[in-house]
Structure 1
Amino acid sequence: MSDLFPPFEPERVEPKRARFKPIPFRLIAPNVVTLIALCLGLTAMRLAVDGKFESATICVLVAALLDGIDGRLARLLKGTSRFGAELDSLSDFVCFGVATGFVLWTFVLHDLRSFGWVIVLTLACAMALRLARFNVMIDDPSRPEWQKNFFVGMPAPAGAITAMLPLYLQFIGLPVQDYGAPFVGLYILFIAFLTISRIPCYAGKTLGTRIPRDQVLPIFVAVVVVAGLLFAYPFEMLALTVAAYLALIPVSVARYRKLERDHAAGAMIPAAAEAAVEADSEPKI
């Protein structure tokens, strides 16, 4: 009975239950954007099954756009976290590795039967390896500052956008779906190679941080023209953008090599000066 009716102790203080601290919204907002991108990637797979390839392509493109926004939003709101980085990588793998490969398989690669499925697996695995390498390189403290303006290999969102070039060409009237399965397969293998390669691709993270005053109005006009063309001729502009991006990769490689040589030369000068100082400090016989 004593357990049912414990004695009343007015002096006894019950310990307070531990409560979780509320999380600021600035930490949640970038993850919400990432989850929306993940939902778009999964929705693209359903739309591809229904034969709505144009809507599926738009879902992947919007997911790539949101992938570029969530990281910048996290840095702007000072809401970066390890959890957000891992969630972003998982979302990128689903959207740009699994969903993109599945859309391409449903679109044309199924005509190649087993070889087409091998191509889809290659693209998905290449995206996973590329994202894993990116996560490892973020934690490298010895990486020079100038290298942060270059991606090692083609980034996953750009890889998905360029891999969907056959869809853009189909939408503007080329019979890719009827006759282009072998060429599409070879092209996807090429994109998969670019994602896992060590070819430097310009990231453009410092692009536009400082703009000369005399170039502000021309930039505004150019943005309006490009936006108008993109809305009027979306898939034509996307096809031209992909072609221009692929054509600029050799330019990015040349720029990277030049900066690498300049960095090596700059590192050799202090080393030579230090060696000269040590030689002068040695006792003369």
Structure 2
Amino acid sequence: MENTPQPVTNRMYIVPCMLTICSLFSGFYSIVSSFNGHFLAAAIAILVAAVFDGLDGRVARMTGSTSTFGMELDSLCDMVAFGVAPGVLAYLWALTPYGRYGWLAAFLYVAATALRLARFNAQAIENTRAAARSGHHDFTGLPCPAAAGMIATSVMFSTHVFKTTDTVQHITLLLLVYLLSYLMVSTHRYPSFKHMDIAREKRFQVFVGLILLLILMASEPPITLFAATLLYILSGPLIAARVRLRRKKPEPVNRIDLQ
């Protein structure tokens, strides 16, 4: 028997929706901080928004309080926190010297986020059924929280390592914005950590590994968060290249020696 997705209601559940509003608040705070020139605070606020965005869906699934209202609210808040806020941050921090080309690049990022969210919402039920049949839970295209995290951690990394911004960093972020925009609307597959199925005998080892990873990331957050986000961003194209190479590899021919 196929696993069918749980029915979704139109009710409003307080706890998940409040977590979503906290994500929206963090995104709005990031925009205000960018306009005030507090770019590090703006970058941190985007990461905080990503934390709340991960919590609201998990809390909703754990408590059985998933609803259409909550999903629509989450999508609208994601547009602000992971679309507008990173676009404004990227423009005011590094793209302003490019004039029209700078704000057009920022707008491209915002538009790609809107398209990514619209495609995700349109394919949500179909993807849930396919995942239930195959057992694989992944994303089509780069998730917008990861794209926003890449911009935020890039600002944190540059502020921590280089202290000041220069032309090379401006050009790098400009190219990064175009790359992230493409990856969000692409068909590259990205792994999802929302439905991790860990064997019971390996849970303790995984838990210890997560503690070590937390310690490592807490040692130098601007560097480790940037590296972790960059690896995730690159995982999509690397997985696609691996699949393509496997398809091109000729299948071995079984020869039967007739005696």
Q: Same fold (TM over 0.5)?
A: yes
C-alpha change, 1:242 and 1:177, in structure 2 (3 Å) is same
Q: Give ranges in structure 1 of 5+ residues lacking alignment.
A: 1-22, 261-285
2:62 is aligned to: 76
Distance apart, 1:219 and its partner CA: 2.6
Q: CA deviation at 1:168?
A: 2.9
Deviates more, 1:240-249 or 1:217-226: 217-226
Counterpart position of 1:196: 185
Alignment of 1:103-182 (within 5 A): 103-140=89-126, 144-145=130-131, 146=134, 149-174=137-162, 177-179=165-167, 180-182=169-171
CA deviation after TM superposition for structure 1 residue 97, in Å: 0.5
The alignment partner of 1:80 has SS state of coil
Structure 1 Cα separation of the partners of residues 128 and 138 of structure 2: 15
Corresponding residue number in structure 2 for 1:249: 236
1:211 aligns with 2:199: yes
Q: Distance in 2 between matches of 1:173 and 1:236?
A: 8
Q: What secondary structure, in the 3-state scheme, does the structure 1 residue paired with 2:166 have?
A: helix
Distance in 1, matches of 2:63 and 2:124, equals 20
In structure 2, relative to structure 1, the CA distance for the partners of 1:184 and 1:43 (3 Å cut) is same
Partner residue, 1:3: none
Q: Distance in 2 between matches of 1:27 and 1:111?
A: 45
Q: Deviations over 1:165-185 (max 9, x none)?
A: 431331232367222212211
CA offset at residue 247 of structure 1? 3.2
Structure 2: runs of 5+ lacking an equivalent? 1-9, 248-259
Question: Which residue matches 1:58?
Answer: 44
Residue of structure 1 aligned with 2:225, choices 224, 238, 262:
238
**Among 21, 33, 38, which residue is 1:47 paired with?**
33
2-structure distance, mates of 1:141, 1:190: 25
The answer to whether the 8 Å contact 2:138/2:190 transfers is: yes
8 Å Cα contact 1:168/1:238 also seen in 2: no
| Pairwise CA distance, 1:201 | 1.2
Note closer, same or farther for the CA distance 1:254–1:211 as it changes in structure 2 (3 Å cut): farther
Q: CA deviation at 1:56?
A: 1.1
Normalising by structure 1, we get a TM-score of: 0.75
1:60-83 Cα shifts (integer Å, max 9, x gaps): 001011111111111111111111
Query: Could you tell me whether the CA contact under 8 Å between 2:188 and 2:237 is conserved in 1?
Result: no
* Change over 3 Å in CA distance of 1:176–1:197 after alignment to 2: farther
What do you get for the CA RMSD once the two structures are aligned? 2.7
Structure-1 separation of matches of 2:186 and 2:145? 15
Amino acid at match of 1:29: V
- Which residue of structure 2 aligns with residue 226 of structure 1? 213
SS at match of 1:108: helix
Q: Which residue of 1 aligns with 2:255?
A: none
Instruction: Report % sequence identity.
Output: 30
Higher Rg of the two aligned structures: 1
Give, in angstroms, the shift of residue 29 of structure 1.
0.6
Q: Which amino acid aligns with 2:179?
A: F
* Structure 2 residue 173 is the aligned partner of structure 1 residue 184: yes
Segment drifting more, 93-102 vs 133-142: 133-142
Q: How does 1:88-99 map to 2 (within 5 A)?
A: 88-99=74-85
The number of residue pairs the alignment matches comes to 235
